Amino acid sequence: MKVIIMKELLEANDRLAEENRNYFKENHVLCVNLMGSPGAGKTTLISAIADELSDIKIGVVEGDIASSIDADELEEKGVHSSQINTCGECHLDAHVIRQGAEEIAMKNAIVFVENVGNLICPAEFDLGEAVRLLAASVPEGDDKPYKYVPMFSYADVVALTKCDLKEAVGFDTEYFKKGLRAISEAPIYEISLKNGQPKEGIKELAEFLKKKYENM
């Protein structure tokens, strides 16, 4: 019996990820791997960014253990979506991303991969993305950069979501930033998208991604 070790799985995934990178480049697609815990606000973030970037086509490959709730929600808002159910797997890999990307078949677009809600496994799997966007929500606590070093160190950009709840949960922003700065120089955007209140930070994050897209 052959024992497949993790190193072999990651090497195979990396080869497929490089093929994905070429596929996205050929189709002028900025692939954004959006990672974060369940409930961090990933779907809401995509929807808000799509509203800000109305002049750019936006798509999403939606990863969930089960259901198509988030993909259906985004489709209703005009974001072309492909659903991947992992049936228990805690992350997406390069192989399924290629399938999802070919299903929505977008060119000249920004395509988000909404990864399975998890702060561990997704950091280890290259999908062929150009940008790794990490959504970290205020209610999760200000100590997450200290506890989940691989995820935060691999992120290209961090969206600190639900900032309107800082006071309610006693969130220490400087402590959070200090932890992140110890391992990464990724820019941080403080986001608040609470209904009935002015949106904060989302325009700046959208502009960051737009520049990445324009400079491909």
DSSP per-residue letters across 117-171 = SBSSGGGG---S-SEEEEEEEGGG-TTHHHH-HHHHHH-SEEEEE-GGGHHHHT-
Measure the N-to-C terminal CA separation of the chain; round to a whole number of Å.
Answer: 45
Tokens of 13: 């995934």
Per-residue pLDDT of the chain (216 residues; tens, 9 = 90+): 444 555 667 788 899 999 999 999 999 999 999 999 999 999 999 999 999 999 999 999 988 767 888 889 999 989 999 988 877 667 789 999 999 999 999 999 999 999 988 999 888 899 999 999 999 999 999 999 999 999 999 999 999 999 999 999 999 999 999 999 999 999 999 999 998 888 999 999 999 999 999 999
Record the pTM.
0.93
Q: Which superfamily, per CATH, for 6-214? A: P-loop containing nucleotide triphosphate hydrolases (3.40.50.300)
CA 100 – CA 46 distance, rounded (Å): 17
Tokens of 68: 């198509």
Closest by CA to 47, choosing from 215, 161, 187, is 161
**Residues written for the chain:** 216
Residue 11, classified by CB atoms within 10 Å of its CB into exposed (0-12), middle (13-18) or buried (19+), is exposed
Number of H helices and E strands in the chain, helices first, is: 9, 7
- Residue 30 Ramachandran class (φ > 0 left, ψ -120 to 50 alpha, else beta): beta
